[in-house]
Amino acid sequence: MDLGTLIERHGFSHYGFAPLETPLSMAIYREWLDSGHHAGMEYLREHERLKENPQQFAPQAKSAIVITRSYADHPYPAPEFPKSLRTALYSRGEDYHLHFRQELNALADELRGHNPGEQFLCFTDSAPILERDLAYRAGLGWFGKNTCLIEPKQGSLFFIGQILTSLNLKPVAAVVPDHCGTCDRCIRACPTGALDVRRLDARKCLSYWNIEAKGVAPEEIRTKNGDWFFGCDICQTVCPWNEKVFGREQMRREAEPPETEAETLVDDLRWLLTASHKEIERKTARSPLSRARPIGLKRNALVVIANRRLQELRPEVQRSLNEPRLKSLAEWTLAQLT
């Protein structure tokens, strides 16, 4: 069976092939690291040599089958919690590391059946690979000024997965040229100035501070966080290519806080501040929110409470003074509520 036909049978409509070799953007990535733009994500520097030569962890692999999966309408929607909180689009369903990997594994199993003795290894943002570089070389988009990969018919709201294989596959699509032109909406819209042209400074990025960071954001970042509880989609929702694909009205709605009752928002934030870490872990077990860990989600709740001036949660904020890792942030939040 033709490889493309087999991939499409598994429900993947956007895919391409790329040789597994030194990334085209390796020098840019190394300079980004040297500039300290990776903030506290030291694992990115630790993986630098593997990213330069992927065969170090996949010696038999010669090529990558690169597949993208849209999340604008999440294929596995989240349960009711936390719909009152403002979260990145990708996080509003089951963690893609779980469901996307399962889909790729099912495809890989069939590929093994058709290609005995060949290797097929699946990854979804979980291996030391510059996956956007692979996707670019596979003809699945160009590097946007917001650093996301953008595809004319798919926008940028998609996951990228790879199946590394010992098959020697040649690209079947040409590299997509840059269509950003003179547009700089994403750069102008970023509230913290984290974006330059195709360069993100994680030290200023809201998503870094409310997902990846283990500590508390500087005050100048906190005050610009608004009511973003987990992640941030601003640089994507203002992109004309996402407006073209998904409609300006949908992107406008996504750029605004969820339409929920204020009472529901207060109830969800109260639960977060009073729940045990075990309770939060159970609630977020299959959600991307688990990446921030319970202490990180409590931290994020305090920032949202401060920026929304939710006076009714003062008692819960005061209780947070008893948590050493949250004490200084709780003090700041209380100061915003005066």
Rounded CA separation 99/161 (Å): 11
Instruction: State mean pLDDT over 245-262.
Output: 82
Helix axes 293-308, 262-274, angle to 10 degrees: 140
Phi and psi based region of residue 257 (left: phi greater than 0; alpha: psi -120 to 50; beta: remaining)? beta
The answer to whether residue 293 is domain-embedded is yes
Residue 287: both structure tokens together: 């959600």
pLDDT in tens, 198-224: 999 999 999 999 999 999 999 999 999
Structure-token pair, residue 107: 């495809």
Confidence of residue 93 (pLDDT cuts 50, 70, 90): confident
Asked whether residue 279 is domain-assigned, the answer is: yes
Closest of 206, 211, 208 to residue 189, by C-alpha: 206
Q: Is 225 in the same domain as 302?
A: yes
Does some domain include residue 328?
yes
Same domain, residue pair 158 and 223: no
Instruction: Give the integer Cα–Cα distance in Å for 176 and 139.
Output: 6
Residues 273 and 312: beta-carbon distance below 8 Å: no
Residue 312 structural domain: 199-233+257-336
Is the same domain home to 154 and 62? Answer: yes
Residues 6 or more apart whose Cβ sits within 8 Å of residue 246: 72, 155, 157
- The answer to whether the beta carbons of residues 329 and 302 sit under 8 Å apart is yes
- List the single range of 74-88, 129-143, 160-174 with lowest mean pLDDT: 74-88
Residue 143 φ then ψ, to 5°:
-80, 110
pLDDT at 197 over 90: no
From 118, 147, 165, give the residue that closes a domain.
165
Angle at 83 between CA 237 and CA 273, to 5 degrees: 115
Adjacent-strand bridge partners of 14: 68
Q: Which residues are catalytic?
A: 125
Whether residue 11 is found in the same domain as residue 63 = yes
∠ at Cα 148 (86, 193), nearest 5°?
A: 65
- Quick one: pLDDT at residue 240? 96
**Residue 79: which pLDDT band, with cuts at 50, 70 and 90?**
low
SS3 assignment, position 199 = strand
